[in-house]
Amino acid sequence: MFPFHFLRCVSQAPWAPRLFSTTSMVEAGYKMKSHSGAKKRWRSSPGLKSFKRGKAFRSHLNASKPPARLNRLGNTAYSTPAQTHKLRKVLLPYGSG
pLDDT in tens, 1-40: 555 555 555 555 566 666 666 566 667 678 889 999 999 9
Domain regions of the chain by residue span: 4-91
Q: How many CA atoms lie within 13 A of 54 on its CB side?
A: 10
Q: What is the mean pLDDT of the chain?
A: 82
Predicted structure pTM score: 0.62
Q: Please, which pLDDT band fits residue 45 given cuts at 50, 70 and 90?
A: confident
Nearest to 54 by CA among 32, 30, 73: 73
Cα Rg of the chain (Å, integer): 21
Kindly tell me if the per-residue pLDDT of 54 is higher than 70: yes
**Fold category of 4-91 in CATH:** Factor Xa Inhibitor (4.10.410)
What is the structure's pLDDT at 32? Answer: 87
What is the structure's pLDDT at 15? Answer: 66
For 9, list phi and psi in degrees, rounded to 5. -95, -15
CA 57 to chain centre: 23
Kindly tell me if the per-residue pLDDT of 60 is higher than 80: yes
